[in-house]
Amino acid sequence: MAGKPHILVTNDDGVHSPGLRLLYEALKPLGEVIVLAPETPKSASGLGITLHKPLRLTRLRLWGGVEVYVTNGTPSDIVYMALEELTDHIDLVASGVNLGDNTSIQVILSSGTIGAAAQAALLGIPAAAYSIAIEEPEQLEADRETWEQAKKLIQKTARYILENGMPPPIDIISINMPSKMTPNTPVKLAPAARARYTQKIARGRDPRGKPLYWLYGEQIQPQPGTDVYTVHVEKAVAITPLRLDLNPQLKPGTRAIQWLQGLLQATR
């Protein structure tokens, strides 16, 4: 690779998340790091891009003088904004570190952290999404051992991707870290489970007595071998390769093929 690699650092928790700073600190030694993040949290924004309103780009100084950029767009908008305004090419998009793991297809499909990585992948840019099973910013900031170990893991994996590229059919590497990281925390390859939560709704009332509803998730018992199990039961790091493809593999002669032929017939 000629010159220092260009690394775009972004997230979906917003520019003030310690996870973004952790990612920046980890990747700074590896190349030219551009930080562009949403000004406010955009969790569960998924792969949605912003078509209905104008986007703005603002420069800030954070973390003792580091130049970072913020936008009112979603994580998925960011790679396009960065390529338009901040750099002529990007060798790696690193998204995170998300507060809260992005395990299971259910969570991945609605994750802004993965959304940013997915837009990069659609442009052919290697993309890594980092998440940690810690919900509270203060907890991540206070636990120095976890912080340092996470930093090492991010550095090692990002360096490997920069040196080796990302082979088809892999589009994104999603790395989910457990809530405690030590030098002995195992690292495993783990496919994404299908679902992690049963969605629930809590009913409430506003101050005027009108009904309102809050969505929340209730955890499902995870299956061994999945990303959810690896992070939450084994307390290990899960490395999950992702492919942006929702076309099912349909084997000839199966019921699904017959069903589709029947559906086609039914339209005649």
Which residues from 51-70 bind a copy of itself, rule CB under 8 A? 51-52, 54-57
For residues 11-40, which are near a copy of itself according to CB under 8 A?
none
Number of residues that bind a copy of itself (CB under 8 A): 90
d(CA 85, CA 161): 25
Q: In a 3-state reduction of DSSP, which class is residue 88?
A: coil
Give Cα 159 to chain centroid, integer Å: 18
Least separation, in Å, of the C-beta of 181 and a copy of itself? Answer: 12
DSSP 30: G
Task: Write out the H or E segment, with its range, that includes residue 69.
Answer: strand 66-71
Q: Judged by CB, which is closer to a copy of itself: 4, or 194? A: 194
For residues 188-217, which are near a copy of itself according to CB under 8 A?
188-189, 191-192, 194-195, 199-201, 203-204, 206, 210-216
For residues 128-147, which are near a copy of itself according to CB under 8 A?
none
Site membership for a copy of itself, residue 167 (CB under 8 A): yes
- 265: its two tokens: 């017939």
Stretch of 15-23, 86-94, 129-137, 236-244 contacting a copy of itself, by CB under 8 A: 236-244
The residue from 45, 98, 113, 146 that contacts a copy of itself (CB under 8 A) is: 45
Contacts for 152 with CB less than 8 Å, ≥ 6 apart:
26
Residue 71 vs residues 86, 198, 215: alpha-carbon distances, Å: 13, 33, 27
